[in-house]
A and B are shown apart, each in its own frame.
Chain A
Amino acid sequence: MAILTSSAVDLADLLLGQDADDTVFTDEELIPVRMLNEFTYCPRLAYLEWVQGEFTDNLDTREGTFGHRNVDRPSARPIPAPTEFGDVPPQPAAVPIETSTSNPTATTSITGAEPSPPSIEPATTAASSPLLKTRSLTLSAAREGLVAKLDLLELDGQHVTPVEYKKGAIPDNPFQAWEPERVQLCAQGLILRENGYQCNAGEIFYIESRHRVTVPFDDALVLRTRELIRQLREMGRGGQIPSPLVDSPKCPRCSLVGICLPDETNLLLRDAAATGLDASTRDSRAGSPDEDGSASTNSLPSPVRHLLPARDDALPLYVKEQGAFVGKDADRLVVRHRTATLISVPLIDVSQVSLFGNVQMSSQALREVVDRGISVCHFSYGGWFAAMTTGHVHKNIELRMAQFATAADPVKSLELAKSFIVAKIRNGRTMLRRHATAQQRSGQTDTTSEPEIDLTDETASPRCVDAQKGSGTSAGWPVQAPAANQDVSEAPSDNRLTQKPSEATARELAQLAEWARMAGRATSAETLLGLEGMAAKVYFSGFARLLKGGHAFDFSGRNRRPPRDPINALLSFVYSLLAKELTIAVRSVGFDPLLGFFHKPRYGRPSLALDLAEEFRPLIGDSTVLMLVNNGEISESSFLARAGAVTLTEPGRKAVIAAFERRMEQEITHPIFGYRISYRRVLQVQARLLSRVLLGELASYPGFCTR
């Protein structure tokens, strides 16, 4: 074993305990030192990145990389191996830091803020060899089991100093460095020692402060580093994701916060524990008494922080002009038709591309969008979602393995299927109930107050109320006309609506509630399917009464392949768009979209996307149709009937996509987490939560039910 700088022999034995067992790690088992930094910051972060292969940038990581740009280019110059300095025995020479190692508490005496690059002083120890510097050097150590890329290594004879570049300023703590960085640097030191260099301290260069801080590798730090390496290795073997940090100030600045969902997960785990205690059902959980009152009176359940952006930066691009061509010009997507340019949009503003029918796309454009993680969805001219082009398969193989194992297990599959169907029936029921109330009310009063009904009526759970207080209940809403459109449409003029809505609806509501309960207790997939069918029938008969527009929009139940009336044509198309959204969502989380738990696998069918779509059919699909019809955004002339089959015309299809997009971008208050979030983001969060269920972190899938 290499160099030991400590004089405290017994402690040194402890630190170098690995000498006892001569474990040598293979290349596969080496831990990247950067991962050790992440693990020290948050074990869950390290698990997500290291075990599951997740990574995403945020502003901090990008600025960090930018600050690194000078040290990320490897030096061309060769550097001498330690042996090339001659056979100097690995005796610690007069190392100044050693004095502090006998007393671990003395580590606070670091005077690293002084700009003392070793190029000034240390020429005294090895006068013969000049100071060498090398950048971006990758080194591994088989016995330590580590591999690292050193930003900068300064060699002064056999004595070396790793320098780590960090963005930002020197932190205001006694060490003038955060623990993750000190541990990372120390691990680099361990690697260097195993490679035969003398290394007693490292330095952190703070880019913003333009200062170096010395980090001595004292016994306490070495011990801590070794312990963390051991824990990290154990975590990798365990296969169980560590719990999120609780209400940690680290979370808002973590780039993986949208994948980790720390507060959301903690809330669901807490709720699961609470329901486990009093063995109550999901319904009572929503209004459980311990959540009563505001967060200030009850300090235990910390509110879910709004760490996710409410909406995406970029938006979808739909191309349905037949014969159009999508090309790339610099960093823009350009849609041309013959010689005319239809539109040109910067790629940074595009989140997904949907092509309908005969639309061409150049391979340059395809390559570019795929590189940027943008999916291309291919539809038939008539709106059948046929295929999707994406980049490589997601790295999270652990999730796909869990998905396949769960799908092969009928009991677990049924549990998930029940969650989807219960949520679907309940959402359908909510939709009927809301609109029935809206109709009754609009019969007597004016309709201008209706827009809020969609989201804020009812005695929502206390969490929701809290959140609404925070964001302003009604007046403070972002002024977005589409959001308001939906329920304004409930004008009282249509005669069909006045035929005793309350009585019929009340019966339907009771039935749906009962079937939702029964679906939750279903013991076989067949029973569940039957309940779903019965509920759909009742729901759609209620739905038919909500539609206005006379005979053109008569609707007596769902039919498809082909749809035989305008409403069914609309529903089919909107469901197709919804399936597209969920295919993208589950794919981005790392699922295989084709293997579901309720929908049986069939060639080419995105069963998992359809599973997750169930609970959103009423919320997104049906409400979009309702909005289109009742607002008069679509009329009889938007449809073509051919031999009993009804299809949408070109302008009709455009109106449907526009309405669907408005719904997807609409921000709502999340019924469980209480923050503002767009429907499109809700889909992503649900897919993420489903992954947590499959990986065993959450006990049951929390269906998305509005109130």
Chain B
Amino acid sequence: MMKTVYLVSYDVCDPRRLRLTYKKLCGFGMALQYSVFRCELSAMQRQSLKEQLWDILNLEEDRVMIVNLGPAGARGDECFEFWGNPRMSIPARTAVIV
């Protein structure tokens, strides 16, 4: 099943919610910059993320932006350009053996 790469960024107005949001997103992707994540998600995983963030956020004060960058392994990977020190390595799409 093809996954889609999303850029997820957020403004959260409360320190507790901010911390919870950050931790939650760590479970869905990798942090690129402050409050900016790259997430590689299937449709179901995207729905999971939405459900779980809804439980954390107060949408009257906070906001989330989610940008569809395209399919993983294709445009979703190619559309990044970093100036300065990049904090991204595309995750391996094979079994992890350590």
Residues of A participating in the B interface, judged by any CB pair closer than 8 Å:
57-59, 62-63, 66, 69, 309-313, 315-321, 324, 329-332, 335, 342-343, 345-349, 654, 657-658, 661-662, 665
Contact = CB atoms under 8 A, between A and B. Distances in A.
Contacts of B45: 313, 348
B96 interface: yes
Interface residues of B, number: 25
Contacts of B94: 315, 658, 661-662, 665
Given A330-B24, A348-B45, A315 B29 contact: no
Contacts of B66: none
A343 B94 CA distance: 14
A658 B1 CA distance: 21
Contacts of A654: 97
Nearest to B22: A330
Interface stretch (B7-15, B47-55, B56-64, B81-89): B47-55
A331 B23 contact: yes
B95 interface: yes
Given A331-B23, A332-B27, A349-B91, A318 B44 contact: no
16 contacts: A309-B1, A311-B1, A313-B1, A313-B44, A316-B95, A317-B95, A317-B96, A318-B97, A320-B97, A320-B98, A330-B24, A331-B27, A346-B28, A348-B28, A661-B95, A661-B97
Specify the main secondary structure of chain A where it touches its partner: mixed
A661 B97 CA distance: 10
Interface string B29-73: 100000000000111110110110010000000000000000000
B31 to A, nearest CB: 12
Contacts of A320: 97-98
A62 B23 contact: no
Nearest to B43: A59
A660 B93 CA distance: 15
Contacts of A335: 98
Contacts of B42: 313
Contacts of A330: 23-24, 26-27
Contact of B95 (A309, A324, A347, A658): A658
B95 A313 contact: no
A66 B51 contact: yes
A319 B50 CA distance: 31
Contacts of B43: 59
B17 interface: no
A620 B2 CA distance: 24
A448 to B, nearest CB: 24
Contacts of B41: 348
Contacts of A662: 94
A59 B47 contact: yes
A341 to B, nearest CB: 10
A341 B9 CA distance: 26
A59 B46 CA distance: 9
A657 B97 contact: yes
Given A347-B27, A348-B27, A315 B95 contact: yes
B1 A310 contact: yes
Contacts of A332: 26-27
Contacts of A312: 1
B27 A343 contact: no
Given A330-B27, A331-B24, A348 B48 contact: yes
